[in-house]
Amino acid sequence: MPRKPVSLGWGIRREGRTLWSRNSTRGKSVGNERRKRDGRIEWRQWDPSRSKVAAALLITSQKASELLPGPGDTCLYLGASSGTTVSHIHDMVCGSNNHHNGQIIAVEISPRMMRDLSSLAEDRPGLIPILTDARETPSYAPLMREKAHWIHQDLSIADQAENFITIAKSTLQAGGIGLLSLKAASERHSEGDDFSRFSSAEKLLKESELELVERIDISKFQDQHVVFVVKLLKGERTD
Amino acid sequence: MEIRFDWKLSRVVDEDGNVLDQLEWTSSHSANSLVERLSDLQSGRLTPEARILRDRFPDAVPNPLGAISDGNWPELTKEESEMLSHASLILAKRGVANAATDPDRRLDMLSSASTELRSSWTTQESRAVEWAGLFLHDLDLDGRRAEIPLCIAESENISEAAVKLGASIPEHLPTDSEWSAMNSQARGVISLSERLALNEQATRELATSHVPSLSSLIGPLGASRMVVLAGGRERLARMPSGSLQVLGASGAMAAHRRGAPPPKHSPVLFSMPLVSRSPRWVRGKIARFLAGKCSIAVRIDHFGGQTWDEDQVRAIHAQAEEIRDKFPKPKKRG
């Protein structure tokens, strides 16, 4: 029985338990995800077990559209890896041939991953791949056209929450949304079990200038992972 | 007063937000020159315009985050956005290509390949030897072990191999296809040894130039293992020597966290005769001493110090032997 699709914003929809993004490179998949046609539009399946953002969208208790950037926004994606999630964000923020005029700064430190990410960027104008350390904000900030509306940090480093707070404070605009994917296994071994690591990250976020909106446990799709959703209230608007 | 800049525009702005001066990049809007610009920005350097402004206003502090924080920063035109996309793509691809210039990555390939070759050599060699032993019932498997794969590989049939190895002609013969498989197994072992030799030669050369002091202290193969385990020379140089002492002993360290006694040394240090040939009760002391020296050596190599010469290395080895001689008997338990 086909379910009626529910729109989660431009270019993104949910059908039952599956998520789809409006393919901006028609006829092409990024990995080997399914594609399907609906009239003139082609949709690409967004797999929650390969993308933490997709998992968070399916599990969140607020409106899923509150977690996403809109068309034409400026986005900062730290730890872009080979670009699976980035491609879906690009589908909605830039659209085919970047007709929304969005900008996605995709930072990745590993040349092996950048190999795939840069070939993705060839077909997707508006996607700016940068090979650098995500903690080095000055190395990518001058390439951003403005402070970001939306940030996602997905890094395998220790002190993920501290880094996220520092980066978000300097690169997120007022009212902007930040997503932090926290991987328990990346924190130092000596610092307690998974649960206490998530809690100490939560405490840090609460004490910071960011407003913690939601803590989403995505362990159903990805082991030992939690996604924190934050908002930046203070700071001047740039648009 | 600060200098705000992005890849295109640089501005001097005072405390009240007034623009005192600004310069825009206008000359030759070519993709290549933009790539160089972005490369400068990514390595923390200023654009030429920002540098000129810094000279004009020595009190102004460059702020790489200034431009995105500035509400009055001009927007990019469509052409400029496309240019930026294009240039950043070229730069990212260049970065991918430049990964090949990194000796740490090259050493990683060599050293990891070497580990894999060695482990497959061990299993395949012992299979070849056991296989030969099944048919050649009176062959001395231990005494002539080293010759067995080569003799099997270079013989036409099992009887010829028996003669070469000084064993009696087997009573029960393998079938022709069985012999072919056995022979090809032996040839595989020979080719693995050759590949391993080539690989280790290349590893030695690279390690001797990348970490010369560490290589002369613990041998180039051990030195390259350490660099690879640490995830690069810089990381190794920044490690405390206690970490270096147990580098690679991850299983033992995990057991230690659960209450077992700490490991005395890593497999890398243990592979040195100074450690493995010493009595058990001094191995930890010698490993600790050597780890300290290794950490000095790799710091010399990484931060551009004077490479250790043979005499210095010999003196260190002599000191390690002194430690061994100082403790001829195990500590009495009491």
pLDDT, position B333: 73
> Which pLDDT tens digit goes with each residue over B266-289?
888 988 888 888 899 999 999 999
Asked if the structure places residue A3 within a domain, the reply is no
Nearest chain A residue to B87 by CA distance is: A128
Span A123-146, average pLDDT: 93
Relative to beta strand A148-153, strand A74-78 is parallel
Range of the domain at A97: 48-232
Tell me if A232 sits within 8 A of A175, measured CB to CB: yes
The reported pTM is 0.86
Nearest chain B residue to A124 by CA distance is: B85
A237: pLDDT confidence band, cut at 50, 70 and 90? very low
Asked if the structure places residue A10 within a domain, the reply is no
Domain boundary among B204, B231, B254: B204
Span B23-48, average pLDDT: 87
Tell me if A100 sits within 8 A of A128, measured CB to CB: no
Span A51-75, average pLDDT: 93
Span A103-107, average pLDDT: 96
**Contact call for A140 and B42, based on CB within 8 A:** yes
pLDDT-above-70 percentage for chain B: 99
Task: State how many domains chain B has.
Answer: 3
Instruction: Indicate whether A135 pLDDT > 90.
Output: yes
> Which pLDDT tens digit goes with each residue over A193-202?
788 889 999 9
Specify the range with the lowest mean pLDDT, choosing from B131-140, B166-175, B256-265.
B256-265
CA distances to A37, A77, B310 from A171, rounded to whole Å, are 37, 11, 53
Asked if the structure places residue A26 within a domain, the reply is no
Domain boundary among B204, B231, B253: B204
A149: pLDDT confidence band, cut at 50, 70 and 90? very high
Name the more confident of B17 and B95. Answer: B95
Instruction: Indicate whether A203 pLDDT > 50.
Output: yes
Find tokens 């991953």 and name the residue: A113
Give the closest residue to B227 by CA, choosing from B112, B74, B321, B127.
B112
Domain boundary among B100, B129, B146: B100
What CATH number is attached to the domain comprising B132? 1.10.287
Specify the range with the lowest mean pLDDT, choosing from B67-81, B116-130, B158-172, B308-322.
B67-81
Shared-domain flag, residues B227 and B310: yes
pLDDT, position B248: 86
Shared-domain flag, residues B218 and B317: yes
pLDDT-above-90 percentage for chain A: 76
Q: Which residues of B226-252 are buried (b: 16+ CB within 10 A; e: fewer)?
A: bbbbbebbeebbebebebbbbbbbeeb
Asked if the structure places residue A27 within a domain, the reply is no
Shared-domain flag, residues B255 and B200: no
**Contact call for B68 and A238, based on CB within 8 A:** yes
CA distances to B265, B280, B283, B300 from B330, rounded to whole Å, are 18, 8, 11, 35
Asked if the structure places residue A227 within a domain, the reply is yes
Range of the domain at B133: 103-204
* Neighboring chain A residues of B70 at a CB cutoff of 8 Å: 238
Shared-domain flag, residues B56 and B76: yes
pLDDT, position B146: 93
Q: What share of chain A is helix, strand, coil (3-state, %, to 5)?
A: 30, 30, 40
What CATH number is attached to the domain comprising B11? 3.30.420.220
Task: Say which DSSP state B330 is in.
Answer: P
CA B68 to mean position of chain CA atoms = 39
* Neighboring chain A residues of B68 at a CB cutoff of 8 Å: 141, 144-147, 171, 238
> Which pLDDT tens digit goes with each residue over A162-179?
999 999 999 999 999 999
pLDDT, position A2: 64
Asked if the structure places residue A147 within a domain, the reply is yes
What CATH number is attached to the domain comprising B280? 1.10.246.90
How far A13 CA lies from chain B's nearest CA (Å)? 28
CA distances to A158, A214, B207 from A89, rounded to whole Å, are 26, 20, 43
Tell me if B3 sits within 8 A of B63, measured CB to CB: yes
ipTM: 0.90
3-state secondary structure of B9: strand
Span B116-132, average pLDDT: 96
Distance CA B88, CA B74 (A): 20
CA distances to B83, B229, B260, B287 from B247, rounded to whole Å, are 47, 7, 17, 11
pLDDT, position B78: 85
Shared-domain flag, residues B221 and B234: yes
Asked if the structure places residue B334 within a domain, the reply is no
Span A198-225, average pLDDT: 92
How far A146 CA lies from chain B's nearest CA (Å)? 4
Asked if the structure places residue B332 within a domain, the reply is no
Shared-domain flag, residues B108 and B200: yes
Asked if the structure places residue A203 within a domain, the reply is yes
Spell out the alpha helix ranges (H) of chain A.
52-59, 84-93, 111-123, 137-140, 160-171, 194-207
Shared-domain flag, residues B182 and B219: no
**Contact call for A236 and B71, based on CB within 8 A:** yes
Distance CA A167, CA B101 (A): 30
Helices A111-123 and B78-98 pack at an angle, to 10 degrees, of 150
B23: pLDDT confidence band, cut at 50, 70 and 90? very high
Q: Round the average pLDDT of chain A to a whole number and report it.
A: 91
pLDDT, position A238: 44
Asked if the structure places residue B263 within a domain, the reply is yes
Shared-domain flag, residues B322 and B252: yes
* Neighboring chain A residues of B43 at a CB cutoff of 8 Å: 139
* Neighboring chain B residues of A136 at a CB cutoff of 8 Å: 44
Task: State how many domains chain A has.
Answer: 1
Answer whether B231 touches A (CB < 8 Å). no
How far A2 CA lies from chain B's nearest CA (Å)? 39
What CATH number is attached to the domain comprising A126? 3.40.50.150
Distance CA B239, CA B233 (A): 10
Shared-domain flag, residues B112 and B89: no
